[in-house]
C-alpha cells in the first residue's frame, strides 16, 4: 500500500470532523448539558483546593496558586485525550459485536481512521476552564511571561497530553486480549484525577511508582515544573517530551498489534 502524505491525512481528518460535528450538533441539548457537567467537575476540583487552603496555608511547601497552576495544567493536558481519542471508549463494544472489522478494510491508517471518527466537543469546556485557571495562577504567581515561556508551556503541555493518550490507548487496546476490559480503561481514566498533586508529597517508593510504573507524575508535575519553578526542574522534567513521544509510540504499536490480530466475530 502506498504511503499517504501528511497533507492527505490532515485534509481527510477535517472532512471526517465536519461530518461528526454535524451529527453531534443535532443533539444540541446533550452537548450543552455535557459541557456544563464537565465544567461542574472542574469547579468542584477548584472548590476543593479552596476549602483546603482556607484551613492550611501550604501543602508540603506548595502554595495555593502553585497548586492551582498544577490543577490547570493537568486539566489542559488531559483535554486532547478527551476530545480526540474518545472513540477508545467504544472500542470494546465494536470489537465484541464484530463491527470493528469495518475499520480494517479502509485504505488508510487504521488507528488514525478509528480515532478520527469521534471528536468529543464537551472537552472544550474543560480546555477553557483549564486555560483560565493557568492564566489566573500565572498572573497571581507573577511568573515570567514571554514568547519563549509560552512556547515552552505549549511544548510541555503537548508532552504531558501524549502520556495520558498513551495510557488510554494501551488500556483500550487491552480489549483485544481481555474480555471484561472496561474496568481497566476506567481505572486508567481515574489516574488523571491524581495527576494534579505534586509528586513530592509521596514517599520514595510511591514517587518511584508514580514516575516509572504508573507515570501520572508526567501528566502535570514534571512538565509543569519547567514553568512553575524554573530554578529547580529535574532531569525528568526536561525529559518529559521524550517520555511522551516514546510512550505514545509504544501505545500505538500495542493498539495496532491488537487491531491486526483481531479477526472479527465470524458473522
Binding site for another protein (CB under 8 A): 27, 29-30, 33-38, 40-41, 44, 47-48, 51-52, 54-61, 122, 180, 182-184, 186-187, 190-191, 194, 197, 201-203, 206
Instruction: Give the shortest CB-159-to-another protein separation in angstroms.
Output: 23
Decide whether 5 or 54 has the Cβ nearer to another protein: 54
Cβ closest to another protein, residue 198 vs residue 244: 198
Q: Kindly state the smallest distance separating residue 55's Cβ from another protein, in Å.
A: 5
C-alpha dihedral (262, 263, 265, 266), degrees to nearest 10: 170
Residue 233 has a CB neighbour count (10 Å cut-off) of 18
Concatenated DSSP letters for 29-43?
HHHHHHHHHHHHHHH
| Cβ closest to another protein, residue 191 vs residue 226 | 191
Select 118 or 153, whichever has its Cβ closest to another protein. Answer: 118
- Min dist CB 40 to another protein, Å, is 5
Find residue 62's DSSP bridge partners.
59
**Closest distance of CB 56 from another protein, Å:** 5
DSSP 53-107: HHH-S-BTTB-HHHHHHHHHHHHHHTHHHHHHSTTHHHHHHHHHHTGGGGGGGSS
Amino acid at each position: 500500500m502506498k504511503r499517504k502524505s501528511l497533507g492527505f491525512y490532515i485534509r481527510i481528518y477535517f472532512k471526517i470532523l465536519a461530518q461528526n460535528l454535524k451529527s453531534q450538533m443535532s443533539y444540541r441539548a446533550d452537548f450543552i448539558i455535557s459541557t456544563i457537567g464537565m465544567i461542574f467537575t472542574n469547579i468542584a476540583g477548584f472548590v476543593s483546593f479552596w476549602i483546603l487552603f482556607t484551613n492550611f496555608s501550604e501543602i508540603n511547601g506548595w502554595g495555593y496558586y502553585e497548586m492551582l497552576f498544577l490543577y490547570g495544567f493537568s486539566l489542559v493536558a488531559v483535554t486532547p485525550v478527551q476530545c480526540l481519542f474518545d472513540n477508545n471508549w467504544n472500542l470494546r463494544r465494536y470489537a465484541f459485536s464484530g463491527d470493528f472489522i469495518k475499520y480494517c478494510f479502509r485504505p488508510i491508517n487504521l488507528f488514525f481512521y478509528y480515532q478520527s471518527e469521534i471528536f468529543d466537543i464537551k472537552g472544550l469546556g474543560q480546555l477553557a476552564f483549564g486555560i483560565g485557571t493557568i492564566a489566573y495562577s500565572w498572573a497571581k504567581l507573577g511568573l515570567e511571561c514571554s514568547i519563549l515561556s509560552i512556547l515552552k508551556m505549549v511544548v510541555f503541555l503537548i508532552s504531558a497530553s501524549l502520556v495520558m493518550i498513551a495510557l488510554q490507548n494501551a488500556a483500550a487496546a487491552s480489549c483485544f486480549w481481555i474480555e471484561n476490559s472496561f474496568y481497566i480503561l476506567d481505572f486508567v481514566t481515574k489516574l488523571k484525577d491524581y495527576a494534579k498533586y505534586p509528586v513530592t508529597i509521596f514517599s520514595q517508593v510511591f514517587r518511584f511508582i508514580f514516575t516509572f510504573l504508573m507515570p501520572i507524575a508526567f501528566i502535570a508535575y514534571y512538565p509543569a515544573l519547567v514553568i512553575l519553578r524554573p530554578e529547580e526542574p529535574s532531569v525528568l522534567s526536561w525529559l518529559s517530551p521524550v517520555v511522551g513521544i516514546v510512550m505514545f509510540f509504544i501505545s500505538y504499536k500495542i493498539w495496532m498489534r491488537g487491531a491486526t490480530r483481531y479477526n472479527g466475530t465470524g458473522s
